[in-house]
Amino acid sequence: MSNIAPKKSRLSIWRAAMVIARRDVRAVLFSKAFLLFLLGPLFFIGISVGAGLLGASASDSQASPKLAISLAANESDAFVEAHGALAKLVRLPDIEVVPEGEDLLPDALLTDGSKNFGAVLTGSLALPELTGTEGRINSWEGEVALVAARALGEPENYPEVALAPTSTSMAVKRSANSATATAAITLLFLLTMLLAGMVLSNLVEEKANKIIEILAAAIPMDAVFLGKLFAMLAVSFVGIGVWGSLGGAVMWIGSDGLPDIPAPAVGWPVFVALFLIYFAMAYLLIGSVFLAIGSMAPTVRDVQTLSMPATMLQLGVFFLATYAMKFPGEPIELFAVIFPVSSPYAMLARAAQDAALWPHLVALAWQGFAVALFVRAGSTLFKRKVMQSGPRGAKKSRKGFWRRRAT
């Protein structure tokens, strides 16, 4: 008869995480506190208004559109010289000289994604023609006539500027996309800031009740952390569904009085899907940081002190992404994309401004890898800082065992 004991089967990390997730979701959704929690966003209306004002100021601080100068070589030089002299006295739009040619028609210049042209000046100094959106060319008509008269050497005889309005320009499109990006980042920040705290409070409560130690003894600590993260993420999506339904109903009722929202570069269906995905990634990233903080907090009182750095990190990430979106493709924007915690915000802003989809696949893979690293680091920190009695006791028991054997 064999004396070998059968091996105990243990759940895998993902199955154990799902067990923890189902347990936490049921405990939170069927509690009275969750119903009160759904009313929480009403208290954040003031924060939303302040964030909207910040977004408006960020949109206003975008790089000013330029006036493209497409004249003959000698006339372009005269216009630039007159512009430089008058710019010291009056406020004039920024200009950029482009070479004259058939491939650089006004429509092509206005829709060039690498430029930020608001209007194009063609024709001649005596008969200038200004092409652009109606509002832009109407506001620049007087400035163009003033500079052209100075370039002709006849400051008192202003030439008549012919206006050729177009439907849109790259400057107008960038401004609209920037407004959409700012609004999306602000909403993502508010939702993450409102909902991520549930992870921290849930862990600290179970830690105080010694429940977390029982779970850690039964299943891997990585599974406990993953389960709690995905449980609170599922609860957050329930809250977003409720708030989104109420907000959609309000917008539908008052749709006649609401302004048109500029469409993002990737289109609304893809943008909404990316918003939900990047919210999940932002929640998992900051939630894993909160779990690590909760593992170091011995009491609920200490959470207030330890959570302050994470709250400041959220604010810093929001301001970084809001500032970096004004400089697409530049080092500051690339840093915001690569830095894991700010990556969801920066990539959401890029979705509103750039139609390319492949960077989002790379970014999501990188963010998922960062979530795994953060969860691993948090669980390791918890086992080293909190679950120390087990290893120490094991060492003592081994020493006592060898002493008894020696005796």
Kindly indicate the confidence band of residue 20, based on its pLDDT and cuts at 50, 70 and 90: confident
- Percent of the chain clearing pLDDT 90 (strictly above): 10
Q: Are residues 184 and 51 in the same domain?
A: yes
pLDDT of residue 149: 87
- Mean per-residue pLDDT for 254-274? 76
Q: Are residues 46 and 106 in the same domain?
A: no
Instruction: Assess contact for 68 and 117: CB atoms under 8 A.
Output: yes
pLDDT for residue 123 is more than 50? yes
Predicted pLDDT at 337 = 92
Same domain (yes/no): 289, 353: yes
- Which strands make up the sheet holding 117-123, listed edge to edge? 95-97, 66-69, 117-123, 128-133, 162-166
- 50 domain residue, yes or no: yes
pLDDT band at 209 (very low <50, low <70, confident <90, very high): low
3-state secondary structure string across 9-21: CCCCHHHHHHHHH
- Tens digit of each residue's pLDDT (9 = 90 or more) over 380-401: 777 776 555 444 444 444 444 4
Do 194 and 146 share a structural domain? Answer: no
pLDDT of residue 9: 47
3-state secondary structure of 145: helix
> Does residue 322 have a pLDDT over 80?
yes
- Cα separation, 64 vs 244, in Å, equals 35
User: What is the rounded distance in angstroms from the CA atom of residue 336 to the CA atom of residue 154?
Assistant: 51
Question: How far is residue 355's CA from residue 189's CA, in Å, rounded to a whole number?
Answer: 23
Q: How do the residues of the chain divide into helix, strand and coil, expressed in percent and rounded to 5?
A: 70, 5, 25
Q: Tell whether 80 is covered by a domain.
A: yes
* Strand 117-123, strand 66-69: pairing: parallel
| Residue 199, SS3 per DSSP | helix
pLDDT band at 160 (very low <50, low <70, confident <90, very high): confident
80 and 99 inside one domain:
yes
Do residues 282 and 188 make contact, with C-beta atoms less than 8 angstroms apart? yes
Do the domain assignments include residue 401? no
Domain end position, chosen among 119, 138, 168: 168
Whether residue 342 is found in the same domain as residue 312: yes
Residue 119 lies in a domain: yes
pLDDT of residue 299: 64
142, 168, 194: which is the final residue of a domain?
A: 168
Q: How much is the pLDDT for 90?
A: 86
Q: Per the domain annotation, does 407 fall within a domain?
A: no
Residue 265 pLDDT = 81
Same domain assignment for residues 82 and 142: yes
H or E stretch covering 178: helix 170-195
Segment 48-74 mean pLDDT:
66
Q: 391 is in which domain, residue-wise?
A: 13-59+173-396
Q: Is residue 161 part of a domain?
A: yes
Q: How many helices (H) and strands (E) does the chain have?
A: 16, 5
Query: What integer pLDDT is reported at residue 385 of this predicted model?
Result: 62
Is the same domain home to 215 and 307?
A: yes
Claim to verify: residue 29 and residue 108 sit in the same structural domain: no
Whether 23 and 133 map to the same domain: the answer is no
Q: What is the mean pLDDT of residues 173-202?
A: 78
* Residue 208: CB atoms within 10 Å: 13
User: Do 50 and 88 fall into the same domain?
Assistant: no
Write down which residue in 168, 201, 226 finishes a domain: 168
pLDDT at position 352 over 90: no
pLDDT classification of 42: cutoffs 50, 70, 90: low
Of the candidates 231, 233, 118, the residue with the CA atom closest to the CA atom of residue 171: 118
Identify whether residues 177 and 34 lie together within a single domain: yes
User: How many domains is the chain built from?
Assistant: 2
